[in-house]
């Protein structure tokens, strides 16, 4: 079937100005094989520091399941990419068993809030804001709804 994808647009200037210890995406559902729809969020945390300013705009993505997934549900295979990598269809691939642990927080290539930003344009060609697009693609064990 077609690839199942969830995306999250992050505004780096807002994130760096507010300087939280983490930022969460809106909730989205993944249809887990043998379970049904489960609620998830992507979470962006500073890499190697307590805040995004202290990490110099480097972060990493975590994936958290908010539904009580039972043992026996197939592990989910997925990739995470930032705008530049997502455009090329790339990204690192991971597998996680959400029945064992609700939080996937493995080390991976950092998200650069400055370098990974793409400029959204307003009519007339003026820059509206910089954004970072984080893309989660499910490769097996689930589908996105």
65 pLDDT more than 90: yes
Proportion of the chain above pLDDT 70, given as a percent: 75
Q: Where are the alpha helices (DSSP H) in 38-118?
A: 83-87
User: Long-range contacts: 45-51, Cβ < 8 Å, 24+?
Assistant: 45/21, 45/105, 46/21, 46/22, 47/110, 47/111, 50/21, 51/19, 51/20, 51/21
**Cα distance between residue 33 and residue 46, in whole Å:** 32
Count CB neighbours of 33 within 10 A: 14
Q: Give the up-direction half-sphere exposure of residue 2: CA atoms within 13 A in the CB hemisphere.
A: 5
And the tokens for 141? Answer: 């064990």
Proportion of the chain above pLDDT 90, given as a percent: 21
pLDDT of residue 18: 84
9 pLDDT more than 70: yes
Residue-wise pLDDT tens digits, 67-115: 999 888 888 888 887 764 344 455 678 899 999 999 999 877 777 776 4
The confidence band for 145, taking pLDDT boundaries of 50, 70 and 90, is very low
What domains can you pick out in the chain, each with its CATH number? Answer: 4-144 (2.60.210)
């Amino acid at each position: 079937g077609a690839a199942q994808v969830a995306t999250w647009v992050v505004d780096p200037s807002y994130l760096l100005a507010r300087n939280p210890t983490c930022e969460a995406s809106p909730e989205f559902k993944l249809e887990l094989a043998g379970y049904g729809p489960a609620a998830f969020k992507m979470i962006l945390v500073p890499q190697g520091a307590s805040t995004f300013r202290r990490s110099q705009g480097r972060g990493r993505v975590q994936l958290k399941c908010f539904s009580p997934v039972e043992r026996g549900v197939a592990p989910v295979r997925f990739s995470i990419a930032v705008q530049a990598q997502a455009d090329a269809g790339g990204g690192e691939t991971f597998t996680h068993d959400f029945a064992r642990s609700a939080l996937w927080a493995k080390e991976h290539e950092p998200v650069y809030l400055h370098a990974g930003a793409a400029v959204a344009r307003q009519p007339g060609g003026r820059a509206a804001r910089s954004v970072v697009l984080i893309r989660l693609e499910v490769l097996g064990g689930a589908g996105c709804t």
